[in-house]
Structure 1
């Protein structure tokens, strides 16, 4: 069932959710089981597209970005094609594509996905064991530059990757420096190296951050991060670089918790419009 949303009609809506996951049902259930095993989380949201879209529609989300990723080589083409089919049946879904760094023809897989309608590219660096500028995915990054498509990375160390060599601000800076014309987003506000990622967003127009998990009212419980450490002045200053995201359906709390902390700040209307809508449009290159 969708959330009963007390925030409907607030500055949140209409919104774009820049960080949602849509997988085939069996794979989606396996992802949630793995997260339950790793973190002890239980999920109130069913991991199927129809249930996800009902929750989003109830909250006032007009469009959302569906982010795929593959754990092993050989599965990206079929997952990208499946997600493109899902987008054809949805008025809200904006599909991204993925590729595994050990796939054959990394560039070809990504180009085919872009030709089929994918709006961007997703890498989960710790799961796929690749740095943001890993030489194995250079053909994918070059395709993103050629097609003017953005890239979303799980590039930060939260919530369980503080010792992972593939993530962190230094690794992310390599892709920013190497591909200055590609719009790149580090999910989860770059936690736990927020200050370094905010500095990158200040310095580079192509660097974006999404609020997923990090700005939730549940952030302290789920990832030991206090969203109040990111002050109102930062959100106002960088509203054109920060966009709302949720990780739905893989969140161990109600969907409304993702924006309740932000809505409780009484930010300027223009800041809310950026964070909840316009910044995602700029990142995606859509209107």
Structure 2
């Protein structure tokens, strides 16, 4: 068991004790340098979407961050980027694909935005081998039910490629967030493989219901159960049985938000470990569920 006395250096011993070959984390970010600096400034200083912000644990050069992920034992991770305005997504996709090609273990990833030509660059991304997409409805400020996205949701449903969707009201309410907008997309595209970021915190219950209802909907653990999240977005005890069942059914995957987190990576794993849901659950969440999606 990992405890607060353990550091990142102890993580490989933890997953080896579970009988795992490593970890698969489906919520990791690497961004073009200029964009990354802006994101880090936002998190460090707060702002309209962040409140007071927080001190970033891994505000390091990119090579050191990649090295740390290898030291932790991550065998697969994406470089999730997301567009917040038109004429941005295609360039981001070119960057993330190049980053994946030159970074062992990095999954090819992409994003999209409701704009002319979006379906075309999503098709190109799929042809280029993209394994996972990311959209952030809060930062992007768009409605997932927009007509411009209908073809894209259909393409992704047919391809079976997961899309990590930030659809909840963390860090602050606003935009087309909450379970209803993305829930309506799922009613139209029930085979869509959506991964709800952050377990849908703080609207855990309604997003858990989406995971129970739709065969391909899952949730990622990003920052959930950590001390930081529990202070303001406590996970309800009544959902623990559902959390265990969904994890064992392949519907909960490891996510961390590395590097832009206010705690060591080891703490995310400690937060999962102290749930005491069993080694089988941890093996599923930290390895096999993610492997099955990519």
Q: TM-score, normalised by structure 1?
A: 0.89
Please give the alpha-carbon distance, in whole angstroms, between the structure 2 residues aligned to 1:232 and 1:135: 37
Partner in structure 2 of residue 55 of structure 1: 68
- Find 1:177's aligned residue among 187, 193, 197: 187
Partner in structure 1 of residue 39 of structure 2: 31
Q: Are residues 48 and 27 of structure 1, via their aligned partners in 2, closer, same or farther at CA, if it must alter by over 3 Å?
A: farther
Kept in 2, the 8 Å contact 1:216–1:227? The answer is no
Please give the alpha-carbon distance, in whole angstroms, between the structure 1 residues aligned to 2:63 and 2:235: 30
- State the 1:207 CA deviation: 0.9
- State the 1:8 CA deviation: 2.7
Q: Are residues 55 and 275 of structure 1, via their aligned partners in 2, closer, same or farther at CA, if it must alter by over 3 Å?
A: same
**3-state secondary structure, aligned to 1:156:** coil
Find out whether 1:147 has 2:159 as its counterpart. Answer: yes
Kept in 2, the 8 Å contact 1:72–1:100? The answer is yes
Kept in 2, the 8 Å contact 1:28–1:47? The answer is no
- Find 1:205's aligned residue among 200, 203, 215: 215
- Paired residues for 1:56-135 under 5 Å: 56-101=69-114, 103-135=115-147
Partner in structure 2 of residue 244 of structure 1: 254
Please give the alpha-carbon distance, in whole angstroms, between the structure 1 residues aligned to 2:33 and 2:142: 26
Please give the alpha-carbon distance, in whole angstroms, between the structure 2 residues aligned to 1:179 and 1:48: 40
- Find 1:158's aligned residue among 136, 161, 170: 170
**3-state secondary structure, aligned to 2:219:** strand
How many residues align structurally? Answer: 277
- State the 1:6 CA deviation: 2.8
Please give the alpha-carbon distance, in whole angstroms, between the structure 2 residues aligned to 1:63 and 1:43: 22
Please give the alpha-carbon distance, in whole angstroms, between the structure 2 residues aligned to 1:230 and 1:21: 31
RMSD: 1.9
- Find 1:235's aligned residue among 243, 246, 261: 243
Q: Are residues 47 and 179 of structure 1, via their aligned partners in 2, closer, same or farther at CA, if it must alter by over 3 Å?
A: farther
Q: TM-score, normalised by structure 2?
A: 0.87
Q: Are residues 77 and 159 of structure 1, via their aligned partners in 2, closer, same or farther at CA, if it must alter by over 3 Å?
A: same
Q: Which runs of 5+ in 1 are unaligned?
A: none
Partner in structure 2 of residue 7 of structure 1: 11
